[in-house]
Amino acid sequence: MKRQIIIAFIIGMTLISCKQNNVDGIIIEKTLYAHQDFKSNRQLRNLIKKTLEKDEKALVELKKFYCGDGAACYDLGFIITQIIYRLGEEDFIQMVNKLENEEIYGLQNLIVAGLEYGDNDKDGKMDKKRIENEFPELLNLFNKKTK
């Protein structure tokens, strides 16, 4: 009996402590995912969930999430672009409108990188996506808030 409890406990802990690379359909790409420990993966997943629930403070924390540099930061940008597509540009704009100018600093750059390097191939074209074509109203808001 003790042995079965111990085995069940070990299996349960193993399942709970596994990293995940998908949060409600939002993909965490390999470069960012591979460099995370369980704690940072759980933190990222939590920020994604809260941002999908339109929590603008979670968006600020997601933007500041440590991604190292290079490709992993492109992956973070890709996460943000997936969230914009999921929520819709208008709902995302409503979140950004609630932020102070200094809180949005860098967000546009992440989105640009996410569009260019992420797998945002919704329409079957392999073209690189551009913010002015994909999210023109959001770009207008960034231009107004950062001047």
55-84 pLDDT, tens digit per residue, is: 999 999 999 999 887 889 999 999 999 999
Query: For the whole model, what pTM was predicted?
Result: 0.84
For residue 120, pLDDT beyond 80: no
Token output for 36? 């995370």
For residue 116, pLDDT beyond 80: yes
Q: What pLDDT, on the 0 to 100 scale, is given for residue 74?
A: 92
Q: How far apart are CA 50 and CA 83, in angstroms?
A: 11
C-beta atoms surrounding 124 within 10 Å:
5
Q: What pLDDT, on the 0 to 100 scale, is given for residue 61?
A: 97
Average pLDDT over residues 28-51: 92
In a 13 Å sphere around the CA of 101, the CA atoms on its Cβ side amount to 5
Largest CA distance in the chain: 68
- Cα-based distances in Å from 143 to 10, 108, 115, 138, 140: 52, 10, 18, 9, 5
C-beta atoms surrounding 111 within 10 Å:
26
Q: What pLDDT, on the 0 to 100 scale, is given for residue 13?
A: 52
- The closest alpha carbon to 115, from 87, 88, 75, 143, belongs to 75
Residue 107: pLDDT band by 50, 70, 90 thresholds?
very high
Residue 123: pLDDT band by 50, 70, 90 thresholds?
low
